[in-house]
Structure 1
Amino acid sequence: MNFLIVHQNMPGQYRELLDWLVERGGHQIVFLTQRRNYPDTPGVTKVVYKPHHTPAKDAYGLSRVWEEAAGMGYGAALAARGLKERGFVPDIILGHTGWGELLFMKHIYPDVPILGFFEYFYLEKGGPVGFDPEDPANETAPFLLQARNAVPYTNINVVDRGLCPTRWQRDCFPETFHDKLYVCHDGIRTDKLKPKADVSLQLGRIGRITRDDEIFTYVARNMERTRGFHLFMRALPKIQAARPNARVLIVGGNDTSYGKKSESEGGFRAEMEAEVGHLIDWDRTHFLGQVPYNDFQKIIQISRCHIYLTMPFVLSWSLLESMAMQATIVASDVAPVREAITDGETGLLTDFFDPQGLADKVSAVLSDPARFAHLGRAARKHVVETYDFLNVCLPQHIAQINDMVPADKRIIM
């Protein structure tokens, strides 16, 4: 089968599917992206497109949303037209709908079915906007959110079918979208992500750490409000006071992925260090930055208690990956997390706004990990049964793809 996959940050949500298609062989795969530095992959032709134009920084905010999306869509369409002129015609197009890259694909390939990835519909209520009283939405937020939603509103009429990785994300979209959307996660490689009793990691001046050490962890793409970094930092001194031998490993960058950027030099981390830094034992606090994936696995495998915090928003891969590695997790009690974790069965849930409650639960796990070990075992079982890539998610995705292409093009698993 000929695949055209479109995602500005290759491979994005197509990481596992792309690897599987390449390993299987027999397919022609073209990946259209803006990411120049992604390494060349045997069996995949990477084509870098350039957005057609970038609006001026002082452009009117509401129109800039559409300008950026249309510019990406037009740039991707021009690159696709070049592919077509060179003789490449896909049997199916897979792509993320969030940035506008698919907007004009039907003008290039009018007869090719498109399966679009619908990640998030911007909510005025029920999502991260206005969720935290410390960060209230301003009066322009409803207008900006509706302007952003012009992109999915257009895309639902461009694609032939769409998918959402979780029910919560699907339910963020209007009901008028639902007939075109199916729910299935990208998939977790539970065959590769497992607990490991003898794992160890070299940690700078601290030396080698293992599961014998009292380690707890916090992971986010970036240290930001949406992922509850401020609540974690406020709970940290309380955990350290209760557990004087515990060390925390903190993984993530110092930028902003979601929500507004911090105005402080040094980002949101600097803000929180100014607030609670005098209460923290810095000899037992280790900011590791963004780490290689193999090191991330070891960090979670070593962890006695893993903290996952988020406002109501897109569920992080790291949560499900940590569950697959049998981590004992304390997570924020919000709707998207409750879809993956049942309190007291596959993890512990805590009020997002209660740093003392968070500290108490983490400290309890650290003090008696054996008493809570059943949560990690149940978490792995749940991910294997619900989110496993090879046995649960992949067959659903292939069935949807096969339903969109001629019988002689279908993939036989």
Structure 2
Amino acid sequence: MPGQYRELAPWLAAQEAPDGGRHEIVFLTQRDDIRMTGITALIYRPFHTPANDAFGLSKEWERAAGVGFGAVQALQKYEAETGFRPDIILGHTGWGEMTFLKELWPDVPIIGFFEYYYRMQGGLVGFDPEATPNAQTPYFNRARNVVPLVNMEVVDQGHTPTYWQRDRFPKNFHDRMYVCHDGIRTDRLHPNPQASVTLGRLEHPLTRADEVVTYVARNMERARGFHVMMRALPALQAARPNARVLMIGGNETSYGRESDHPGGLRGEMEAEVGDRVDWSRVHFLGRVPYDDLCRIIQISSCHIYLTMPFVLSWSLLESMALQATVVAADVDPVREAISHGETGLLVDFFDPEALAAQVADVLARPDTYAHIGPNARAHVVKEYDFLTRCLPEHLRQMNALLPAEKQLPIPG
């Protein structure tokens, strides 16, 4: 919570309902640490959780079934206490909460968010030669798709944020999915030439006048190219002796295999690049508040976005909205958002030397690349802006499932 509904849910909560009151929005969640104005956070607990030694091929379904039944029980109790019955349900189909809702409310329409479908080609699996699939991988891949496959029969309408994500799913489901991003608040994200960032071990704040290279990921992991980023540091620092690299992200693993190193992947990569890096010019900032993240991108001379073929990060589109000059991995999901040389620069994911050379060239010849940031922002405003592009489409899709008297006015 709020996940992919971080913009839509509070926007709906702020609007006047057709009867002149306010929309009643209930957000079903396991989290008890988030409060959102005008939204009821209904906390539920899984009815069942699989044991650590549960059979691997059924473990995902066992977990999802426990989550789904726990969600239904919480909603049954809430309905009995308050009389609440939704007009429409929106939710993520990957974790299980949506699975049994038609048994509870057969006539309530559901729009399901479909995030990722595992295949043996074209995505995370099999992409990295340092993490080759084993003989069991095809079976686990198939098993991980059970939950979204079940939910295809639950939802009235599917939703996915990019065409690349849609195309991962079976073709016979595509005509029941609409493609529209969650939405980026470009009205709140702007470049700021006066931005500055203070770091504890530096005497003066960093500004746009400094050579600042940024890298952002929720977690510094292989799926988001952290190992490639680290391997690029020696060549980048050699080419640009005044550049500072700011790394933002946690030290856990969200996707793919974990490092065996006691210090995690960061410790593993620090040991690999060793004394070839001037660590005084590398700043690991961990996870930072959102406003600080935006200021860091605003002072960035070059922003690096690395990913294996996987779900496109909000941070890429937000960085583009902030008018950053982005150097990104040349993989299918990124190519959907970036045109090389126009709205960003693309490099081979597996070539840290090419990454370092491209970033160094951006730093050395800023005038040559001055068009990229403004073009990137214009592209995100046109294709991914929440208020003008994404919100109207989400509302149209909701209205298609609602009776006339419940339909939502579409702004603009």
**Quick check: 1:343 aligned with 2:340?**
yes
- The Cα of 1:177 is off from its aligned counterpart by 1.1
Partner residue in 2 for 1:22: 13
1:56-96 CA distances to partner (integer Å, 9 max, x unpaired)? 10111111111011111111111111122121000000000
- The aligned length equals 403
Partner residue in 1 for 2:173: 177
Quick one: distance in 2 between partners of 1:214 and 1:142?
45
Partner residue in 1 for 2:210: 213
- The Cα of 1:336 is off from its aligned counterpart by 0.2
> Structure 2-normalised TM-score?
0.97
> Structure 1-normalised TM-score?
0.96
Amino acid at match of 2:198: Q
Amino acid at match of 1:297: C
Quick one: distance in 1 between partners of 2:10 and 2:205?
33
Amino acid at match of 1:51: P
**Quick check: 1:364 aligned with 2:364?**
no
**Quick check: 1:67 aligned with 2:58?**
no
Which residue, 74, 92, 96 being the options, matches 2:92? 96
Alignment of 1:37-186 (within 5 A): 37-38=33-34, 40-86=35-81, 87-186=83-182
Amino acid at match of 2:199: L
Quick one: distance in 2 between partners of 1:125 and 1:56?
30
1:324-347 CA distances to partner (integer Å, 9 max, x unpaired)? 010001000000000000001111
Partner residue in 2 for 1:333: 330
Amino acid at match of 1:58: D
- The Cα of 1:407 is off from its aligned counterpart by 0.5
Q: Which moved more, 1:317-326 or 1:265-274?
A: 265-274
Quick one: distance in 2 between partners of 1:66 and 1:277?
43
- The Cα of 1:401 is off from its aligned counterpart by 0.3
1:121-158 CA distances to partner (integer Å, 9 max, x unpaired)? 01111101110111101111110010011111100000
Provide the secondary structure at the position in 1 that maps to 2:370: helix
Provide the secondary structure at the position in 2 that maps to 1:50: coil
Partner residue in 2 for 1:315: 312
Quick one: distance in 1 between partners of 2:288 and 2:37?
25
Partner residue in 2 for 1:6: none
5+ long unaligned stretches in structure 2: 17-21
Contact 2:10/2:37 (<8 A) preserved: no
Partner residue in 2 for 1:378: 375
Instruction: Calculate the aligned-residue CA RMSD, in Å.
Output: 0.8
Quick one: distance in 2 between partners of 1:205 and 1:232?
22
- The Cα of 1:42 is off from its aligned counterpart by 2.4
- The Cα of 1:220 is off from its aligned counterpart by 0.4
Partner residue in 1 for 2:406: 409
Partner residue in 1 for 2:297: 300
Partner residue in 2 for 1:202: 198
Quick one: distance in 2 between partners of 1:349 and 1:261?
27
Q: Which runs of at least 4 in structure 1 moved beyond 4 Å after TM superposition?
A: none
Quick one: distance in 1 between partners of 2:37 and 2:379?
34
Contact 2:298/2:324 (<8 A) preserved: yes
Provide the secondary structure at the position in 2 that maps to 1:296: helix
Amino acid at match of 1:13: Q
Amino acid at match of 1:15: R
5+ long unaligned stretches in structure 1: 1-9
Q: Identity across aligned pairs (percent)? A: 62
Provide the secondary structure at the position in 1 that maps to 2:91: strand
- The Cα of 1:370 is off from its aligned counterpart by 2.1
- The Cα of 1:196 is off from its aligned counterpart by 0.6
- The Cα of 1:262 is off from its aligned counterpart by 1.6
